[in-house]
Structure formats: C-alpha cells, structure tokens
Amino acid sequence: MTVRTMRAVLAAHGTLIVVACSESTTGVSDAALPDAAASDAQAGEADAAVDASASVRPWIDTHAHSVGIHSACNTQACVDAVVATMDTFGVKRTILLHPPSPSNTSVANCEKSVRDVVALRPDRFFLGAGGCELNSKIQATVGTAVTQEIRDSFGSRAQALAPGAVAFGEMAALHVSYEAAHSFEEITPNAKLFQDLADIAATQKIAVDLHMDAVKQTMTTPSYFTSKSPNNPAQLQGNTDAFSQLLAHNRGARFVWAHVGRDTTGDMTPTLVDAMLAANTNLFIQIHPTFAPLKSTNAIVADETFAIRADWLDLLKKYPDRAVLGTDVFFTGTETDAKPLKAVQLFLQGLPVDLATKIGCENPVTIYGLPSGC
Ligand SMILES: [Zn+2]
Ligand SMILES: [Zn+2]
C-alpha cells in the first residue's frame, strides 16, 4: 500500500479525513485528553514531507494503552477495529501497557484488564505489566520509609506479574498532569523500589518502560501545565542525574525512556538524550514524534508533516540500535485511533530506509526480547 493509497483509505471515511488532518495527532499524556489535544491542533494536511511513492513501512508500536481515564477498549469488536487500524498504518505488533497509576488508584483487576485484551489477539499484542499495581506501589513510597516488608511485597508482586510480559510499565518517575482528573506523579528515579524493579527486570530479562518528563535541575513548572491542572506543583525536581544513578545500579536492566522527542519541560533536547545514551549502555529511547504540547523547538518534529529535525536525525544515526517507536495512543476502536498511528507512519517515511527498519522492526525485538517481529 502506498501513502497515496493510505490517504485514499482515510478519505473513504468521509469527514474523518478532516478530523485526522486538522487536530493534533498526538496522545499528549497518559490519558486520552481530547481537550488538550485539540488545543495543540494545527491546521493543514499532514503530508508535505512524505514520499507519495513510498510503501507503507512496517513497524512495532512499543507503547499503547487499552484503558485510560477517558477511554477503554476491551471487547472483541473494539480490538478487531484496532487491529484493522494497525493494518492500515503498518503496525505489525503493539505492546499494551496500563498507564502509570498513582498511589490512590484502586488496583482491583487493573492488571488483568490489559492482560485480557492482549489475550484477545496474542498474535498482534504483547503485554506490559505493572503500570497499575507496581507503579502505584512505587508512588505510595514518596515521603515514607521503604521498609523491608514493603520491598518484599513489591518484589513478590513484580515476580508474579512478570510471566507473559515483555515489559514492566508504564512506570513513572515524573508524570506531569494535563487536567484535574489526570494525575501528577513524581518520585526520584533512583528510589529504592525502582532499584528493586531494575534487579527483577534484569533477572527476568524484560525491559522497563519509564515515563520521566525530563528535568535537568529543579525548575519552575512550565505555565502550560500549571494552567491546565491544579495537580501540578510550582516546581519540578531535577531527575536526569538520578536516572543515570538508577541505570548504573544494574546495567543488566534495560530501561526504555518513554516519549523521547516530546518536549514537556524545555529540557528534552537531543543534546541531553545524547549524553544520557553515551553514559548509560542500558538506556534505550522510545521516540514519540510530536511537537505537542509546547510546540517547542526541541521537539523531534516541527509540525504535522512529522518530518524529523536534523539534530534528532543525527542522534538516531549515532545510536541506530537504541531507539524504538511509541505512540502513547489510547485505543477506542474508532477513527481517533488513526491519528497517532498515522503520525508515526509519516515519521517513518521521512527516515532513511535502513534506519526506519532498525527502529521500526528490529530494535523492538532485540530490546524487549519479543518472540516475533514485523
Ligand atoms: Zn503512556
Ligand atoms: Zn507516559
């Protein structure tokens, strides 16, 4: 299927094409946030940088959600619709994860909810485990002494959740809030339970998917977020140095830094990511090609052509084995699913073909130890 054909498929949905091309294609946070996404909208069709003769490129989405604060996709009909959308945009496999739950979230059946969706199409989905139960246990230790009893309880649950999973996640070290119903979460990446998780991940040989909005040094919270949500504090604490300490704690643990290229703080630069990758051989990056929410010049793409910026392309060429792709889409089984997937397909079209193959298909298999690839 060519990109031109892909557009024709979209056009066949009538008014859908207008929606798909005039709104932000990004899931900007860990909840489906249509208001936030709409505020980041830019008009114009998303095709300027695309080679219309190129084939749709295959890829693996390493970060997607079947449940969020505004969405749920847990029926066979919904999953079938999602798989059809994946097929349109070249997505061969998808890792589903629970969003990083805060400490006050009920954990009853929340892990099972993702596992059950994966079981509906095990040929197309892989499981990320612990985003609800393990992350909430980690967040609950903020400001408290982490006793051996807490560590033992956490460790036993992590061991119990590992079978069948290709990743622990989505975990959060810093997760800014986009609206009142959306959690703010902040804990040092080098917290004791993150260290314990690293040790278990290394033993189990599965990766950790970590959401950490980048903060080099304590900063005033960007006004974009304090205006969006009362949950955000006035300041954000530095976290990149502590992340390096966590990575050094166990080099056998593979950490995938989620949403790299999506600048939420002003610190998400290719220079910072280069330094982190150079210093930490067990760090991998999950590219989210978006200019939302800040439309920052640091973002990996500048607009809805989703063409990669030159400095970010240099970074990917320097570390071709270290990057994967993640949409952060919140599946609904409707046309809204198409927007984030289309964005990544357009992004892939703009990469050299060998790099697109590495990042889209080969690296996920290596980094997550997937039993099957594209
Ligand atoms: Zn997410
Ligand atoms: Zn996230």
Using an 8 Å Cβ cutoff, are 341 and 325 in contact?
no
Query: Ligand 2 centroid vs 84 CA: distance in angstroms?
Result: 24
- Tokens representing 14 are 């009538």
Nearest ligand to the C-alpha atom of residue 260: 2
Residue range 212-260, pLDDT digits in tens:
999 999 999 999 999 999 999 999 999 999 999 999 999 999 999 999 9
The per-residue pLDDT for 103 is 80
- Tokens representing 12 are 């066949």
Nearest ligand to the C-alpha atom of residue 257: 2
Query: Ligand 2 centroid vs 348 CA: distance in angstroms?
Result: 21
Query: Ligand 1 centroid vs 254 CA: distance in angstroms?
Result: 18
Helices (H), the chain: 3-11, 16-22, 34-39, 76-88, 110-120, 133-139, 148-161, 192-204, 223-228, 240-249, 270-279, 310-318, 338-349, 353-357, 363-368
Nearest ligand to the C-alpha atom of residue 71: 1
Query: Ligand 1 centroid vs 52 CA: distance in angstroms?
Result: 30
Identify whether 374 is part of a domain: no
Query: Ligand 1 centroid vs 178 CA: distance in angstroms?
Result: 13
Query: Ligand 2 centroid vs 5 CA: distance in angstroms?
Result: 32
Sequence-distant (6+) residues with CB within 8 A of 18 are none
Residue range 176-224, pLDDT digits in tens:
999 999 999 999 999 999 999 999 999 999 999 999 999 999 999 999 9
Nearest ligand to the C-alpha atom of residue 212: 2
The per-residue pLDDT for 105 is 65
List the CATH number of the domain containing 104.
3.20.20.140
Query: Ligand 1 centroid vs 149 CA: distance in angstroms?
Result: 29
d(CA 45, CA 47): 6
Nearest ligand to the C-alpha atom of residue 213: 2
* 3-state secondary structure at position 59: strand
- Tokens representing 339 are 């927007």
Nearest ligand to the C-alpha atom of residue 178: 2
Strand partners, 130: 169
Domain that holds residue 146: 3-368
> Which regions of the chain are under pLDDT 50?
1-53
> How many domains in the chain?
1
For residue 140, how many other CB atoms are within 10 A of its CB? 17
Identify whether 120 is part of a domain: yes
Identify whether 132 is part of a domain: yes
